[in-house]
Structure 1
Amino acid sequence: MAKIVIVGLGTAGISVCLTIRKKYPKNEVTIIDKKEFDLLHSCGLPFLLDGRVDSPEKLKYTLKISGIKKYLNCEAIRIIPEKKDIETKNLKSGERENVSYDSLILATGTTPFIPPIPGLRELKDKRAFTIGDLEGVARLKEVAKKAKRALVIGAGATGLEAAVALNKKGLEIIIVEALKSLLPRALDSDMSEILEEHLKKKGIKILLNKRVERVDEKSVTIDGKEIPNDVIIISCGVRPNSELAKKAGVKTSDYGIVTDERMETSVKNIYAAGDCVQVSSLIDKRPFSAYLATPAYEQGRAVAMNACGGEARYEGALASFISLIADLEIASTGFNKDQAESHGYEIVEGKVKGLTKPRWFPGAKEITFKVIADTKTGKILGAQEIGGEGTGWRINIVSLAIKANLSLEDLSKVEFAYSPATSHIPDVLLTATDLALRKLKT
């Protein structure tokens, strides 16, 4: 019987626990986590802010698996690899205890990044908030009740979801993004413009290629102009929690903890999974940070098997992404145009606007779909989609196509089911693929 110790109980940690209990039930599992409860569904925090999730308790999950020892409200202080020990500290009592392991799995997640804007850090948790935990969202909701004007720094998914939530509460919203478009990691500028116009129609002001220069008690400064402000949401990305690993001699990078395909680190018997790890692109094997639940869950399954003496490989990630922002589903997978070109690809694009059902059938929704491929091989590199709720499933088909190394020609031959009550013929995905294919052949 092996002793498996997991540090961190997020998506990856839960996946590890479930896999071990299904496949290796005789092993002893110990969890070390800073929270007072098991799992927080952190992706639901913006929806707790807007009220669609009506109670914070609904975002908590208790791991109901027998035989698992939990050190909750407890921090992992130090790893001692030569002794196969990890030193822990109880965050309430201060008591310290060493826990031994045969295999150690680090699933330490990330921490929100606070940009070095003068005055911002001093106002954190007073009128400047990240969307990272229940306590922060609760304080934000209280401050927002008395606020009239909100600033969102950063145009990633969490920031946009929070902006829409506060907009629904009647606040004046300004979104400031240092890059040229909304959701710059996921969307090309031409696709982002669709979302931008949609948000502007709801009264949300968007400032692109701009930076916040200073934050004061009742205002912010942008481009030398002082703007009155009551509440700030900081949505500037995250950084991997890799210090514990680094101090133990584990190799790390700017992207996180470095592992091999078995999710084992540079130190024997220490593994890592989830947002704290560096992943490789499934397209060209270059390293990057995924910071998404689906790769974390898949990594957790692989690392659980390997830590217990089995054999599994994690091949890499595509950063397949979806979000619901102001009644629009935004989805992407693989490379966008800028990413593909920066990785040395010459690309061909197929972008079309269509409907989810025949125009004459009630409930048809508009959808814009874009597929990107390599001009030399025709291999699919990525795709993006913007449409009404329920349209984002097409991204999963392209994700599978990339994983299967399919070309535009291959994807154009996929047989779709059709009924006017549920779909359009041809589907917008196939229309975009055919357009890219025609461009490729001319």
Structure 2
Amino acid sequence: MNIQKADYLIIGGGPVGIQACRMLRMSKPEASVTVLRPEDFSVIYCAIPYVIEGLIEPSSIAKKDELITETGAQLLKISASKVDFSGHLVTLTDGQQIEYGKLIIATGAVPFVPPVPGHGLKNIFTVKTAKDTDVIKAAASKAAKVVVIGAGAIGIEQAQAMQALGIETHLVDMAAHPLSTMFDSEFGQIISEQVIASGIKWQGSAPLQKFGGNDSVSEVILGNGSSISLNAGKDFVIVSAGVKPELELFRASDLEIVKDGIVVNERMQTNIPDVYAAGDCVHFASAIDGQPLGGKLATNAVPMAKVAARNLLGKEATYKGFVNGAATCVGDLRVGGTGFTESFAKLRGFTTVCGFGQTTSRFPIMPGAKKVQVKLVAYAKTGRLLGGQIIGPDAVAERIDVISLALQHKMHLSDLAELSYSAQPWQTFYPAANPIVMAAEEALKKL
């Protein structure tokens, strides 16, 4: 059997695989790059709820093969079945073998389903792939009721999609309010009210206990003593309880793996020579305190891929950790958070001070001006910024990015209090009423 050769082999064709491939080929066009991707196509995961709701076409979220092939790289739509790290050899499921010079592991993550009794019943779905999208769209066409387990960003977006389709929708979470990793209780209460106002039946402090049913799920039993009945075979459950790294291929190898992923250093190198890893499959740390933390977001994966590629090209690059900036929509609200919440900062051992800022999305004299609220969290001993939260009608993600940049550079409240910014009647608050600055100034008074 002929053995193919690749200077760079990438296992995985998602955000990391695409980004690393493009950087390697564009910077070193003489090098051969092969990407392994078992799916016919990868999708823009965070847009799946909008396909299910019918707002956009399924084809619009498919990432084109040309993102890889137009660079001159080889794309193989197949899985690896075995990796021989010492021999620099990867065996594919059809028996082909590829000898690599350098390897990037970019296998990503798969949805996590809590292993409670009944978790294997029919009509319990997760959402990650194009196939999942098709399955849920088909199920939604005949269902009268759906239960969404998990009120993170994807869970809320799935629940809103189901509600928009006219299905009785229940959203449950073990936390007291939705988006609990992004928001403290002040904003969490506002989000809860918005969810309920949309018609979704919300239950917080309701951990999943078990699923009931014979063949298909007919009941969701919660730890708060309540249960939700379903019409078996027609109604369904969507589990949106996070993800776990996809690492089965490497479990029996010498690759250093912990619960949350592959152990890598700041250059995205693993413990095995010539093997790098990046994205949802790796274990990494927060940029805020340097301690391990979950950060399985595409917006974290892409910078990791760039760092891995730069190092493979012989350039010095390090990944400093993530701050987990994220945003979503809840009804008419745009909401976003980054870094640590006040409650999580305390769990990590920080004493905190917080500041709030409230203004309007436009000059108050302009039509359509609506309320914008900001919360900043800082370390009480030094004033160093630890996190931020924003709720408003628009432009929330962009302002969260400002706070994320401040977190990456370990800025203090005093830096944000002196923030230089723009103002324009249609687009921003009054010149003297930047809510980030206002929140920083309020927190500074408490130091």
The TM-score, its normalising length taken from structure 1, stands at 0.93
Shift of 1:370: 0.5
Shift of 1:226: 4.5
2:211 — aligned with what?
214
Q: What is the percent sequence identity of the aligned residues?
A: 31
Shift of 1:431: 1.2
Q: For the structure 1 residues 335 and 224, does the alpha-carbon distance in structure 2 shift closer, same or farther, using more than 3 Å as the test?
A: closer
Shift of 1:417: 0.9
5+ residue gaps, structure 2, are: none
Q: Is the 8 A contact 1:283 1:334 kept in 2?
A: yes
Shift of 1:251: 0.7
Runs of 4+ in 1 over 4 A off after TM superposition: 223-226
| One-letter amino acid of the counterpart of residue 212, structure 2 | V
In 1: Cα distance, 2:182 partner to 2:321 partner: 17
Query: Does residue 120 of the first structure (1) align with residue 119 of the second (2)?
Result: yes
1:179 — aligned with what?
175
Shift of 1:224: 4.9
1:236 — aligned with what?
241
In 1: Cα distance, 2:86 partner to 2:396 partner: 52
Shift of 1:365: 2.2
1:381 — aligned with what?
386
1:59 pairs, out of 54, 57, 62, with 62
Q: CA RMSD in A?
A: 1.7
Query: Does residue 32 of the first structure (1) align with residue 36 of the second (2)?
Result: yes
Query: Does residue 45 of the first structure (1) align with residue 48 of the second (2)?
Result: yes
Shift of 1:289: 2.0
2:303 pairs, out of 291, 298, 303, with 298
2:338 — aligned with what?
333
1:170 pairs, out of 142, 150, 166, with 166
In 2: Cα distance, 1:82 partner to 1:226 partner: 53
1:189 — aligned with what?
185
2:25 pairs, out of 21, 25, 28, with 21
In 2: Cα distance, 1:114 partner to 1:390 partner: 34
Query: Does residue 361 of the first structure (1) align with residue 357 of the second (2)?
Result: no
Larger deviation, residues 96-105 vs 417-426: 417-426
5+ residue gaps, structure 1, are: 90-94
In 2: Cα distance, 1:357 partner to 1:337 partner: 28
Q: Is the 8 A contact 2:25 2:73 kept in 1?
A: no
Q: Deviations over 1:6-51 (max 9, x none)?
A: 00011111110111122222111011111113x3211111111112
In 1: Cα distance, 2:437 partner to 2:71 partner: 48
1:348 — aligned with what?
353
SS of the counterpart of 1:96? coil
Q: Is the 8 A contact 2:6 2:98 kept in 1?
A: no
In 1: Cα distance, 2:244 partner to 2:199 partner: 32
1:4 — aligned with what?
8
In 2: Cα distance, 1:358 partner to 1:26 partner: 55
Q: Is the 8 A contact 1:245 1:257 kept in 2?
A: no
Q: Deviations over 1:277-335 (max 9, x none)?
A: 11211111111221111111011111112223332111111111111232322211111
In 1: Cα distance, 2:60 partner to 2:437 partner: 42
Q: Is the 8 A contact 2:355 2:377 kept in 1?
A: yes
1:428 — aligned with what?
435
| One-letter amino acid of the counterpart of residue 404, structure 1 | H
Shift of 1:233: 0.8
Query: Does residue 319 of the first structure (1) align with residue 316 of the second (2)?
Result: no
In 1: Cα distance, 2:247 partner to 2:316 partner: 25
| One-letter amino acid of the counterpart of residue 3, structure 1 | D
| One-letter amino acid of the counterpart of residue 437, structure 2 | L
| One-letter amino acid of the counterpart of residue 367, structure 1 | V
| One-letter amino acid of the counterpart of residue 130, structure 2 | L
Q: Is the 8 A contact 1:240 1:276 kept in 2?
A: yes
SS of the counterpart of 1:302? helix
1:138 — aligned with what?
134
2:276 pairs, out of 255, 271, 279, with 271
In 2: Cα distance, 1:313 partner to 1:242 partner: 24
In 1: Cα distance, 2:62 partner to 2:6 partner: 32
Aligned length: 430
Shift of 1:173: 1.3
Q: Is the 8 A contact 2:361 2:394 kept in 1?
A: no
SS of the counterpart of 1:417? coil
Q: Deviations over 1:332-354 (max 9, x none)?
A: 11111122111211110012332
1:92 — aligned with what?
none
